[in-house]
Chain A
Amino acid sequence: MAYISQYEYYENNGNSPENKNWGSYQYVSLEDIVNNFLLMYQGNHSLVNNEPRYKILFHAKRGIQELNYDAFKETKVLQLDVCDNLRFVLPPDYVNWIRVSMWKNQMLFPLTENIQAMSSDAYLQDNDCRILFDINGNVLRPQNSELDQARIDKTKKSIYLNEGSPYNGYEGWCLDGEWYFDWTIGARYGLNTETAYDNPTFKVDQKAGVINFSSGMAGESCVLEYVSDGLYNGDNTTVTVNKLFEDYIYAYIEYAILRSKHGVQEYIVRRAQKQKSALLRNAKIRMSNIHPGRLLMNLRGQDKWIK
C-alpha cells in the first residue's frame, strides 16, 4: 500500500468516512503480505518456488486466523438487549467469547458462566415415556424443552446464590424459637464459592449460535467481548495484520508451504518451523507491551495490608 498524505490520514481527503485511515499505519494489508511474499520469499533462488498465488493467499489467511484467535489483542465488543427469551444471538463474525457482562446502573458487571446446562433439546413422549414420531419416522419435538421453558418462565431454580436460588428472598428460618440466617456475612461456613454469585449467569450454545441467560437477565443489556478471525465478509480489503506480526506471517507461509511440499528435506522444514515459532514468541512479547508505566498501577497494590 502506498504511503498516504497527512491530510488523507486525518480527514480521508475530505471523503466519508473521515476516520477511514486513523491508525492504519499500524497495519499491513493482506495484499501487501501476499505481494511481498511473492517478491521476497519465492523465486528461482528461494526455498519456495513455483507455488501458485492462491496457495500463498490461503496460508496467509490461515496464519491471520490463528493470530486473531490468540495473539492479537483486538477484541470486538457488541452490546444488545436481552429480551424475555433470555437469548443473545452471537454476532455473525463470532469465533470465541472473552467476557460477557451486564450493563446496569451505568456500570458493567462481568457475568460468570453457568456450570450447569442452560438449554436442552427434547422429544415428545407419551404417558409411558415412549418417544413419539411423525409419519415419516422423524421424532417429534416440542418448541422448548422443560428446562428451557422453566428458564424462560423464570421458574427454574439455580444453584447460584442469585435471584434464582431456592433460598432467594428468605431472610432466615425460625426453628424452635431460634432464627437462622443464610446470608450473614462471614458466617456461612461451607459456602460453595463456585456458585456464590449474585448476578445472572450464562452459557454459550455454540452450535445453536446463541448465549442462553438465566432468568435474571430478562430486560437487561448485555455486552459481549469476543474474538473474530479477521476475515469476516470475504472482503480482502479489510484484512490486515499488525506490523509486529508481519515477519511472523511470512515465516508462517513459508513453513506451511515447505512442510507440505514433496521432497523438501526435513532439516529445512524444521528450520522453518523454528523460525516461525521464534517470531511468534517475539511478536507476542512485543504485543504484550510490558513497560514500567503499565506495571506501575498494578505494583502499587503490592504493599497493601490485607486484614
Chain B
Amino acid sequence: MSMINKVRETVLSILNKNNYGYLSPIDYNLFAKQAQLDLFEDYFYVYNKQINAENMRLSGTGHADIARQLNEVIDTFTQYKVLTPAVLNPGAPAVSKQTFDLPDDWYTFVEVIWGTSCEEGTSFSNKECERVSEYEIRRLNRSNLTAPSPQFPAYIFSQQGYPSTEGSGTGNYGNLSNQITLYPPPETSCTLVCALTYVRYPKDPVWTYSELLDPAGRPTGEAFFNSSISGYQDFELPTSDFGDLVNKILQYAGMSIREGSVVAFAQQEQLEQDREEDPMPATKKRTK
C-alpha cells in the first residue's frame, strides 16, 4: 500500500476523531507537497548537524551512524543529466559555447563534468568542474597558476543568460532560466559537453482518487484512493518519515481549518520527535 494513502488516512483519522472537519484531496496534495519539501530540506541540515556531532565524538558507528543513514536517503535523489547548450538570444538559433541550461528540478549539485567533442574525433575528457563565484572567475582567469584549464575546469552560475565572456556586452538579458557557464571555452574546432550529477527535489506527491458510486451507478461525492489514475505520485521519502509527514500535514491542516489545538498537537509531536533525534541535546532547538 502506498505511503501517501496511509499518511492521508492517519491525518484524517486524527482530524475526524474530534470532528475537526474534512480535508479535501486538493488541500491534502498541497499540504503533502509542502510537508515533503520541508522534510527533504531538513535532511541536509540534520546531516550537517550529525557531521558536527561526529567531529565532537557524539556519534557512533554501525547502526548508530546516523550521518550515513541520512546520506543514503539524500543519495536516492541523485540524478545524472547531459545538459543542453543555452540559446544565446531568443529568436536566434545560435547556442552558447560555454553556457548550459539547468534542469528544473535540481536542488544542489554533486558534480559538473567538462568535456569536449571535436570534429577530428571525439575527445571527451571527463573532468570535474569547480564551482566559483562571479568575482572569483575573473581573478582566476587572470592567474597563471590557477586559471581554469581542461584538467581543472570551473563554472559559474549565470542566471542572466548572457555570460560576460560572450557577446559584445549589449546589456540585453538572455534566457532568465537557471544556467551555468563553464570555463575554459572549448578549442575552435570543438564543442563543449557538460554533464551534471545533482540532487533533485522530490517529485510532488499526488493522492489520486475515484468517486464512489451508489448502487444506481451515480457518484456519491465520496473519494476513495486509486493509484492507477494518471498523475499518481507517492511520497519519495522513506517510511521512517511517516510520523513527520503526518505531523507536518496536520499542522498545515490545523491552520487551514483554524483549529489551534490541532496545530499545537502536531507541533508538540514534532518537538518530541526532534528531541529524540537531536544528536547534540545541549542545543535545544534545531536551527536552520
Given contacts A44-B51, A62-B145, contact A54 B151 (CB under 8 A): no
Total inter-chain residue pairs, C-beta < 8 Å: 40
How long is the Cα–Cα vector from A231 to B151 in the complex, in angstroms?
A: 14
Asked if B51 and A57 sit within 8 Å, CB to CB, the answer is no
How long is the Cα–Cα vector from A54 to B133 in the complex, in angstroms?
A: 12
CB contacts (< 8 Å) of B149 on chain A: these are 234, 236
A198-246 at interface with B (beta carbon < 8 Å): 231, 234, 236-237
- Chain B proximity of A54: nearest CB distance (Å): 4
Given contacts A44-B51, A44-B54, A45-B55, contact A58 B151 (CB under 8 A): no
Interface flags for B217-239 (1: CB within 8 Å of A; 0: not) read: 00000000000000000000000
- Chain A proximity of B150: nearest CB distance (Å): 8
Output the nearest chain A residue to B127 by Cβ-Cβ distance: A31
How long is the Cα–Cα vector from A57 to B152 in the complex, in angstroms?
A: 9
Any chain B CB within 8 A of the CB of A256? no
- Chain A proximity of B142: nearest CB distance (Å): 12
Any chain A CB within 8 A of the CB of B154? yes
From B140, B150, B152, residue with most partner A Cβ within 10 Å: B152
Asked if A236 and B146 sit within 8 Å, CB to CB, the answer is no
Contact residue among A31, A44, A54, A237 (Cβ-Cβ distance under 8 Å from B146): A54
Asked if A54 and B132 sit within 8 Å, CB to CB, the answer is yes
Contact residue among B54, B136, B146 (Cβ-Cβ distance under 8 Å from A57): B146
Any chain A CB within 8 A of the CB of B15? no
Asked if A236 and B151 sit within 8 Å, CB to CB, the answer is yes
Asked if A58 and B152 sit within 8 Å, CB to CB, the answer is no
Given contacts A54-B130, A54-B132, contact A234 B144 (CB under 8 A): yes
CB contacts (< 8 Å) of B55 on chain A: these are 44-45
Asked if A58 and B54 sit within 8 Å, CB to CB, the answer is no
- Chain B proximity of A144: nearest CB distance (Å): 34
Given contacts A45-B54, A45-B55, A236-B152, contact A52 B147 (CB under 8 A): no
- Chain A proximity of B50: nearest CB distance (Å): 10
Interface flags for B116-150 (1: CB within 8 Å of A; 0: not) read: 00000000000000101000100010011111011
Any chain B CB within 8 A of the CB of A258? no
Query: How many residues of chain A get a CB closer than 8 Å to chain B's CBs?
Result: 16
How long is the Cα–Cα vector from A57 to B143 in the complex, in angstroms?
A: 12
- Chain B proximity of A253: nearest CB distance (Å): 13
Given contacts A30-B151, A34-B152, contact A54 B140 (CB under 8 A): yes
- Chain B proximity of A217: nearest CB distance (Å): 34
Given contacts A52-B130, A54-B152, contact A234 B147 (CB under 8 A): yes
How long is the Cα–Cα vector from A53 to B154 in the complex, in angstroms?
A: 10
How long is the Cα–Cα vector from A16 to B132 in the complex, in angstroms?
A: 37
CB contacts (< 8 Å) of B130 on chain A: these are 52-54
- Chain A proximity of B37: nearest CB distance (Å): 25
How long is the Cα–Cα vector from A54 to B129 in the complex, in angstroms?
A: 11
CB contacts (< 8 Å) of B147 on chain A: these are 234
How long is the Cα–Cα vector from A44 to B59 in the complex, in angstroms?
A: 14
13 additional contacts, CB 8 Å, given A44-B54, A54-B140, A62-B145?
A44-B51, A44-B55, A45-B54, A54-B130, A54-B132, A57-B145, A57-B146, A58-B143, A58-B146, A61-B146, A231-B145, A236-B150, A236-B152
Interface of B toward A, CB cutoff 8 Å: 51, 54-55, 130, 132, 136, 140, 143-147, 149-152, 154
24 contacts between A and B (CB under 8 A): A31-B151, A34-B152, A44-B55, A45-B51, A45-B54, A52-B132, A52-B136, A53-B152, A54-B140, A54-B146, A54-B152, A57-B145, A57-B152, A58-B143, A58-B145, A58-B146, A61-B146, A231-B145, A234-B144, A234-B147, A234-B149, A236-B149, A236-B152, A237-B151
Which 6 A-B pairs rank lowest in CB-CB distance, beginning with the nearest?
Answer: A236-B151, A54-B146, A53-B130, A44-B51, A61-B145, A58-B146
